[in-house]
Structure 1
Amino acid sequence: MISQLRGVVALVDGSRVVIDIHGVGLSVSVPERTASVLRAGEDTLLHTSMIVREDDMSLTGFALAEERDLFDQLRSVGGVGPKSALGVLQHYTAEEIASAIASEDDATFRQVSGIGPKTAKLIVLTLHGKLTAPPVGAGKGAVDTSVSGADQAAIVQALVGLGWSERVAKKGVSDMLESLGEGETPSVSDLVRRALQLLGPQTSREGNR
């Protein structure tokens, strides 16, 4: 199974990207927020889920391993296929999904195209108390605040694409968020720039993988 891809972005076409790995181009479906920070010609790392069917094989990729794991958990629910699971992650961050399941709020999932009342209820019943993937940004150093989980994931992905490991990128984003002044609402590109300033040119990228 292919669980991770590191290569050069050859094409970004909506929610589909092509990653060139030593001359082999692999097509990957990604959430729109992930696609929005990918640029042709740049290196990137995607955490992927490989879906094998009798007549097809496909890859779905995410900026963070937590999102990939949550995608797989959603697919384990009866009636939820890859398209619907990706649709949930298109609409909501991992934190929002975990919160909806914890509070048994099936109405959240009914907002996603292709998911009806019965399937929405089944998502909550099946995954309640069983989520193994922590919400993105959870744990030591998480701050959250005015910057959405989706934007935080996009910033981490941008840093990973620039060469930092996911662990170092997450720490850089956490430190950057803690440095924000109250009420500040910078753009994602400005937040990436600030995170880069905190990481500093002296950071050893390979040594922190």
Structure 2
Amino acid sequence: MFGYLEGKLVGLSPMQTYLDVHGVGYELQITLHTYDVIKGKETCRLYTHLQIREDAWVLYGFATEKERSAFQKLLSVSGVGAATSRILLSSLSAEELHAIVWNGDSKALEKVKGIGAKTAQRIILELKGKLPQETYAEFNTAPHNTDEIDALNALLGLGIGKTLAESAVKKAKEQAGDKEITVEEWIKSALKNL
């Protein structure tokens, strides 16, 4: 329903915030990681997830799209609700959760308050197939390469293998030289190099 909300921070606590968006105050439940990112700011953008229950509509806010995505994927695990997902993402960053799932490290999840052995194993089992494997570590060294990373992720999303996709993106980079190109141009060029 809402992709994100951007506005003035009216009230902030480690668990929730009120965001004034053109005179409308939204109450958003947040994680500790989001709290750390937005505390001290006057305005911010929060990526949202709306959960509709019988007794309430609850809006969750996240500092990054990656954190929101991790929250939504956690909700898809049977027996894991919004409260557990928030606790997990308050204890671990989205990146840490991703690494734990891919490494199958259920012991690391068990260290989070309220997560037992069975729940930790279920999270790993159910999320391992839903989270894309981190493949762009080598591309992550330059701060200006987000289009390159997006192109690589798009190729992976199309079902192209990691090695082949990385090779195609590298060739596209060589062909582009110093010229700045859009994500779409990255993808088209990479697809021609397959």
With the length of structure 2 as denominator, give the TM-score of the two structures.
0.67
Match of 1:84 in 2: 84
For residues 163-201 of structure 1, give each alpha carbon's deviation from its aligned partner in whole angstroms, at most 9, with x where no partner exists: xxxxxxx749xxxxxxxxxxxxxxxxxxxxxxxxxxxxx
Once the two structures are TM-superposed, the CA of residue 86 in structure 1 deviates from its matched residue by 1.1
Once the two structures are TM-superposed, the CA of residue 129 in structure 1 deviates from its matched residue by 2.7
Once the two structures are TM-superposed, the CA of residue 40 in structure 1 deviates from its matched residue by 6.7
Match of 1:35 in 2: 35
Query: Highest CA radius of gyration, 1 or 2?
Result: 2
Match of 1:112 in 2: 112
Once the two structures are TM-superposed, the CA of residue 73 in structure 1 deviates from its matched residue by 0.2
What is the SS of the residue equivalent to 1:36? Answer: helix
Tell me whether 32-41 or 88-97 shows the greater mean CA deviation: 32-41
Q: Specify whether residues 104 and 133 from structure 1 end up closer, same or farther in structure 2 by C-alpha distance, changes over 3 A only.
A: closer
Q: Specify whether residues 64 and 47 from structure 1 end up closer, same or farther in structure 2 by C-alpha distance, changes over 3 A only.
A: same
Match of 2:140 in 1: 142
Once the two structures are TM-superposed, the CA of residue 95 in structure 1 deviates from its matched residue by 2.0
What is the SS of the residue equivalent to 1:5? Answer: strand
Paired with 1:63 and 1:130, the residues of 2 have a C-alpha distance of 22
Cα pair 1:8 1:40 within 8 Å, conserved = no
Match of 2:98 in 1: 98
Alignment size in residue pairs:
146
Once the two structures are TM-superposed, the CA of residue 141 in structure 1 deviates from its matched residue by 4.7
Match of 2:124 in 1: 124
What is the SS of the residue equivalent to 1:73? Answer: helix
Match of 1:14 in 2: 14
What is the root-mean-square deviation of aligned Cα atoms in Å? 2.6
Once the two structures are TM-superposed, the CA of residue 107 in structure 1 deviates from its matched residue by 1.3
Paired with 2:50 and 2:38, the residues of 1 have a C-alpha distance of 20
What is the SS of the residue equivalent to 1:79? Answer: coil
Runs of 4+ in 1 over 4 A off after TM superposition: 132-135, 138-141
Residue 19 of structure 2 aligns to which amino acid in structure 1? I
Once the two structures are TM-superposed, the CA of residue 36 in structure 1 deviates from its matched residue by 2.6
Once the two structures are TM-superposed, the CA of residue 3 in structure 1 deviates from its matched residue by 2.5
Cα pair 1:9 1:39 within 8 Å, conserved = no
Identity over aligned pairs, percent: 32
What is the SS of the residue equivalent to 2:114? Answer: coil
Paired with 1:117 and 1:101, the residues of 2 have a C-alpha distance of 14
What is the SS of the residue equivalent to 2:20? Answer: strand
Which one has a larger percent helix, Structure 1 or Structure 2? 2
Which has the higher relative contact order, 1 or 2, with Cα contacts under 8 A spaced 6 or more apart? 1
Gaps of 5+ in 2: 146-194
1:113-192 map, 5 Å: 113-132=113-132, 141-143=139-141, 171=144
Once the two structures are TM-superposed, the CA of residue 109 in structure 1 deviates from its matched residue by 1.5
Paired with 2:144 and 2:43, the residues of 1 have a C-alpha distance of 20
Q: Specify whether residues 18 and 134 from structure 1 end up closer, same or farther in structure 2 by C-alpha distance, changes over 3 A only.
A: farther
Paired with 1:72 and 1:37, the residues of 2 have a C-alpha distance of 20
Paired with 1:37 and 1:23, the residues of 2 have a C-alpha distance of 23
What is the SS of the residue equivalent to 1:78? Answer: coil
What is the SS of the residue equivalent to 1:107? Answer: helix
Does the alignment pair 1:62 with 2:81? Answer: no
For residues 36-94 of structure 1, give each alpha carbon's deviation from its aligned partner in whole angstroms, at most 9, with x where no partner exists: 34257722101011111000111111111111011000010011110111111111122
